[in-house]
Homo-oligomer: A and B are copies of this chain.
C-alpha cells in the first residue's frame, strides 16, 4: 500500500528498507537506521533520512526510540524537530524532551503552535519553568496561553484555539471574500466562518462551500446556517466530543458565560479525544491508569500497585468467607477443587455486563429512560447463562464424583452467582454514575467483591447446609 503514503523518499535507504510497514507505522529497519547514524555521530545522515517524514512520523520516531537515545536524537535532527512535531508527540515523550530545553527554546516552539497545542506543551511544566517560558514569549501569545491555562484541564477552554475567522452580520458575501483575501492574520486553514452580532455573540455559521456557491451581493445572513451548536467554555471535553459526533460537526464556536465567541474547536482535535476517551474504558476497568506505554516506570508501578493493593482486600475478604467454611472443606476437599469454578464463571459474567454498562453510559446510550429495561435484560441473560452452564457443570460433576447432592449444590451456586454477577455488573456502574462517580474507574473492585464473596458463600454455604461433608 505504498501509494497511500504521503512521501516516499526511499533514496537514502538500503534495499528492502521501506520507511513504513504495511500498517503505515515506521518500520523497525528504518528506526534502526536512524538510530545507528545518530550513534555513529552521523547527524547529516540521520537528517537526510528523517527530512522527508511527516511531522506525525517524526513524533512517532521519538516514541519508538529508547528513552535514553531521545536527547541525542533531538540534537542530531535539530530544526527538523519543529513545533508541528511537538504537537504530535506523546505527552510523556514530549515532557521528557521539553525538560531538557531552555525556557527561551520552549517559548519559541510554543509561539508557533495553535493555542491548544502550546498549552499542552507547557501545562505540565513546574510553575517556575512555566513562568520563565511565558516570560520569554510575545505579550499577545502569552496572554492567550495564560487565559487558556485559567480554564480547568480537559474542558473546552483548554481545547479551543483562538485563531478563527469571525465576521459581522451586516456584511455581504463579497465583504467576506475581500476580508479573507486581504487579511494576513487569519489561520492558514479554516472550514467555517462564524457570523457574530455587535456583542460578539455567534448568530450563525458560514460553511466554506456555501460561501463559494453564493452570489457576491448576497447578505451573509441569507447564506449562513442559523442552527449552531455552541460549546460553553467550561464544558468537559468528553461532552464536547459527544456533541461533535451527534451533530456531525467540523468545527464549533466556543462561548463564554455571557455567550460571546471566545474560540473555536475543530474536529481533528476531537478525533484524538474520542480515541482517548473511548479507549480508556478498557484501561480504567483493568486499573491500568491511563495505560500509556511511555509513562515513566516508577509512576506506572505506583498506579498499578495501588490498584492491586485495593483489590487484594477483595481477595482477603473472599478468603475470609472460605475460612468460615474450613471445617466443611477439611471434611470434603472436593469443595476446594470446585469452588473456583463458581467464582470464575461469576467473575467473567460480571465483567461482560460491566463492560457493556460502562460503554453504554459513556456513549449516552443508557439514560433514565431505559435503565430499568437494561437491568431486566441483564437479569434474563444472567438467568439463561446460569441455568445453562450450571446444568452443564452439574452433569459433569455427577459424572466425575457420583455425588448427587454435590452436583445439585454446584448447580444452585452457579445459578445464584450468575444472577448475582449480572445484577452487580449492571447496578453497580449505574449507581456509581448516578452518584457522579466515574463507573469505569470504580466498578471493578465492587463487582469483584460481590462475585467472589457471594460465589464462595453460595457454594460453600449450600454445601454445609446440605450436610454434604
Residues of B near A389 (CB, < 8 A) are 305, 308-309, 312
Do residues A312 and B393 form an inter-chain contact, with CB atoms below 8 A? yes
Count, chain A residues at interface, CB 8 A:
141
Taking the complex as formed, is A75 at the interface, i.e. its CB lies under 8 A from any CB of chain B? no
Taking the complex as formed, is A297 at the interface, i.e. its CB lies under 8 A from any CB of chain B? yes
Kindly name the residue among A31, A249, A311 whose own CB sees the greatest number of chain B CB atoms within 10 A: A311
Docked CA distance A21–B434 (Å): 13
Residue of B nearest to A396 (CB): B316
Taking the complex as formed, is A402 at the interface, i.e. its CB lies under 8 A from any CB of chain B? no
- Given known pairs A297-B381, A367-B64, the reply for A352 and B287 (CB within 8 Å) is yes
Identify A271's interface contact among B212, B244, B323, B358, CB under 8 A: B244
Q: Which of A280-314 contact B (CB under 8 A)?
A: 281-283, 285-288, 291, 293, 297, 300-301, 304-305, 307-309, 311-312, 314
Residues of B near A101 (CB, < 8 A) are none
Residues of B near A381 (CB, < 8 A) are 297, 300-301, 304
Taking the complex as formed, is A131 at the interface, i.e. its CB lies under 8 A from any CB of chain B? no
Identify A355's interface contact among B188, B282, B315, B333, CB under 8 A: B282
Residues of B near A356 (CB, < 8 A) are 283, 286, 288, 291, 293
Taking the complex as formed, is A149 at the interface, i.e. its CB lies under 8 A from any CB of chain B? no
Docked CA distance A413–B293 (Å): 27
Do residues B352 and A337 form an inter-chain contact, with CB atoms below 8 A? no
Identify A207's interface contact among B25, B189, B355, CB under 8 A: B189
Task: Show 18 A/B contacts (Cβ-Cβ < 8 Å), sorted by A.
Answer: A6-B247, A24-B242, A189-B207, A190-B209, A191-B191, A207-B208, A208-B208, A245-B275, A267-B271, A278-B279, A283-B355, A286-B351, A308-B352, A311-B348, A312-B345, A327-B333, A336-B339, A344-B448
